[in-house]
Amino acid sequence: MTAKIPSRRAILDRIRIATQPTADNPVLLAGAYAILPRTYIRTGHLSAEARIALMIERLREFDAEVVETSPESLPAAIAAQLVASGKHTFVAPPGLPPEWLAPGLDWKIDKGLPTSEIERAEGVVTAAFCAVADSGTIILHHSIAEGRRVLTLLPDWHLCILRSSQIVETLPEYFDRCPQPPALVTTISGPSATADIEMTRIKGVHGPRFLHVILVRDQGGQPIVH
């Protein structure tokens, strides 16, 4: 549905008069797009170990807590983080593996939870789609293991489970992993922050103030941080 047809026509007409008429030929347009210069760095050069080490370094620069673990000891590592947080009520997306839900805590699984329930939760545990080591960015596509957008927004404490095979070095490498453009994306580079008052960086304005990451070594190799 498109409202206000007259303005639409008027604006597009003005644009067409100002620009090349060939813009409407899809073949020419695709051709012009294809030859745009893209000489920037697309693939990283770091070894797997160095890439993971860089990701950890970047996350720590953001004051995020990072621990490493192996696939076998992941449930125990999650439980340890949850207990150490001192929090009791957690929300989780519906696609989270059941063994990640540490016993003895108050879990709310998001099968359409009302916002008020999510807001009351003290923390949230999710998976991730990808991570970019160059900037320490965690990327969510909001699958059933990553949760709806609201889930990683309202609770003040976010524990994100990241597999080492999900870490790429550069931002273009993340796009390589998206054969189809996703409908929803949230990228997280450290906790919510502002520098609006005298350029003083303040952690935690509206989003979660505490970001914890458990890095799961699923590509072999030993944890480099203990």
Partner 1 sequence: MLFKLSARNIVFFRSLFNPCGLHLGPFLPKSPPLRAETRMTPRPELDPALAPPFPVAALNILRNPQLRKNVAHATDIIQAKRARLVAEKKDWQQLRSAASEIRAHVLENLGAYLEKFEDRCIAAGGIVHWAADAAEARQIILDILREEKADEVIKIKTMTSAEIQLNPFLEAAGVRTYETDLAEIILQLGNDEPSHIVVPALHVNRSQVRDIFARTMGLPNLSDDPHALADAARNYLRRKFLDIPTAISGANFLIAETGAVAIVESEGNGRMCLTLPRTLITLAGIEKVVPRFRDLEVMLQVLARSATGERMNPYNSLWTGVTAGDGPQRFHVILLDNGRSSILTRPVERQTLKCIRCAACMNACPVYRQTGGHAYGSVYPGPIGAILTPQLTQMHHAQSLPYASSLCGACYEVCPVKINIPEVLIDLRAQVTDQERRRLNRFLDPIYLGMKIANFLFSRAWLFHAAQSFGRIGLAIFTGKDGWIHALPGLGAKWTQTRDLRGLPSQTFHSWWDDRAREAK
Among 27, 72, 98, 116, binds partner 1 (CB under 8 A): 116
Instruction: Work out how close the CB of 18 gets to partner 1 at its nearest, in angstroms, rounded to a whole number.
Output: 4
Instruction: Work out how close the CB of 98 gets to partner 1 at its nearest, in angstroms, rounded to a whole number.
Output: 22
User: Half-sphere exposure of residue 183, counting CA atoms within 13 Å on the CB side?
Assistant: 4
Q: Copy the structure tokens of residue 130.
A: 């990808």
**Cβ-based nearer residue to partner 1, 29 or 83:** 29
Instruction: Work out how close the CB of 96 gets to partner 1 at its nearest, in angstroms, rounded to a whole number.
Output: 17
Among 37, 98, 103, 104, binds partner 1 (CB under 8 A): 37
**CA-only gyration radius of the chain, Å:** 22
Antiparallel, parallel or unpaired: β 157-163 and 167-168:
unpaired
Asked if 134 touches partner 1 (CB under 8 A), the answer is yes
Asked if 222 touches partner 1 (CB under 8 A), the answer is no
Q: What is the DSSP letter of 74?
A: H
Asked if 72 touches partner 1 (CB under 8 A), the answer is no
Q: Copy the structure tokens of residue 61.
A: 């620069």
Asked if 150 touches partner 1 (CB under 8 A), the answer is yes
Select the span of 5-13, 77-85, 122-130, 218-226 touching partner 1 (CB under 8 A).
5-13
Among 54, 78, 132, 216, binds partner 1 (CB under 8 A): 132
**Cβ-based nearer residue to partner 1, 8 or 83:** 8
CA–CA separation, 135 vs 115, rounded Å?
A: 31
**Cβ-based nearer residue to partner 1, 78 or 155:** 155
Q: Copy the structure tokens of residue 12.
A: 């597009």
- Which of 71, 95, 65, 88 lies closest to 160 in space, CA to CA? 65
Q: Binding residues for partner 1, how many (CB under 8 A)? A: 74
CA–CA separation, 104 vs 78, rounded Å?
A: 13
**Cβ-based nearer residue to partner 1, 82 or 118:** 118
Binding mask 162-201 for partner 1 (x = CB under 8 A): ---------xx-xx--x--xxxxxxxxxxxxxxxxxxxx-
Q: DSSP per residue over 124-180, as a string?
A: EEEE-SEEETTTTEEEE---TTT--GGGGTSSSEEEEEEEGGGEESSHHHHHHT-SS
